[in-house]
């Protein structure tokens, strides 16, 4: 199995990714580059990557459920999630693990069937308990140490797409999804 960008992905990471039915994402530093743009009126702006967005749509189309758990609260996150069909959105969450356990219980999923993509120590409580922990190269070493997969691309710069593609390839769905673009 060939994984562009990660030719030597561990067998453990591939096996973990095969079981995923739900993936949850932090926003700042994962779906964005971590920069916060604040206007004088308090309005918050974020920059998202369009390739990441299409990867999320492909992953959802393949049957993997999508969610967001973020410590900040922003209307732009709601808009982005709605645009991508992300159904599970938790904002302003200090205890991400409680939101995670509430959601997987509601969806009747085991931790092994879930993935989480984070970039900082506040994400560790979920990352150390989910089935497939993903991080970005800019994350602190302790976060990367507890990740099953660290993307080569940075947050907001294709990291989410890389993670989506990895799961799609691990589950054998990538080639089928590409057919409609290649015919």
Q: What is the pLDDT of residues 119-178, one digit of tens each?
A: 999 999 999 999 999 999 999 999 999 999 999 999 999 999 999 999 999 999 999 999
Radius of gyration of the chain (CA): 15
> Is residue 177 included in any domain, yes or no?
yes
Q: Is 0.85 topped by the overall pTM?
A: yes
Assess whether pLDDT exceeds 90 at residue 54. yes
Measured between alpha carbons, how far is 69 from 81 in angstroms, rounded to an integer?
Answer: 11
CATH number at residue 99: 3.40.50.1000
Assess whether pLDDT exceeds 60 at residue 2. no
Measured between alpha carbons, how far is 15 from 151 in angstroms, rounded to an integer?
Answer: 17
What is the residue range of 157's domain? 11-182
H/E element, 141: helix 141-145
Nearest C-alpha neighbor of 130 from the set 59, 12, 24, 31: 24
> Is residue 83 included in any domain, yes or no?
yes
> Is residue 67 included in any domain, yes or no?
yes
> Is residue 171 included in any domain, yes or no?
yes
Measured between alpha carbons, how far is 58 from 47 in angstroms, rounded to an integer?
Answer: 20
> Is residue 2 included in any domain, yes or no?
no
Measured between alpha carbons, how far is 53 from 81 in angstroms, rounded to an integer?
Answer: 9
Number of domains in the chain: 1
> Is residue 39 included in any domain, yes or no?
yes
> Is residue 20 included in any domain, yes or no?
yes
> Is residue 28 included in any domain, yes or no?
yes
- 8 — pLDDT class (breaks 50, 70, 90): low
Q: Is 51 exposed, middle or buried (0-12, 13-18, 19+ CB in 10 A)?
A: middle
Helix, strand, coil share of the chain (percent; to 5): 40, 15, 45
């Amino acid at each position: 199995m060939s994984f562009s960008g990660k030719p030597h992905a561990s067998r453990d990471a591939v096996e973990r990714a095969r079981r995923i039915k739900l993936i949850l994402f932090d926003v700042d530093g994962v779906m964005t580059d971590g920069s916060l743009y604040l206007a004088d009126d308090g309005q918050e702006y974020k920059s998202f990557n369009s390739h990441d967005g299409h990867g999320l749509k492909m992953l959802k189309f393949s049957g993997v459920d999508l969610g967001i758990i973020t410590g900040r609260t922003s209307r732009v996150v709601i808009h982005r999630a709605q645009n991508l069909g992300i159904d599970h959105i938790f904002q302003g969450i200090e205890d991400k693990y409680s939101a995670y356990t509430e959601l997987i219980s509601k969806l009747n999923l085991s931790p092994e069937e879930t993935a989480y993509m984070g970039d900082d120590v506040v994400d560790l409580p979920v990352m150390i308990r989910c089935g497939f922990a993903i991080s970005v190269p800019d994350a602190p070493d302790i976060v990367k140490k507890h990740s099953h997969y660290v993307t080569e691309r940075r947050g907001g710069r294709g990291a989410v797409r890389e993670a989506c593609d990895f799961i799609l390839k691990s589950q054998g769905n990538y080639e089928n999804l590409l057919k409609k673009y290649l015919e």
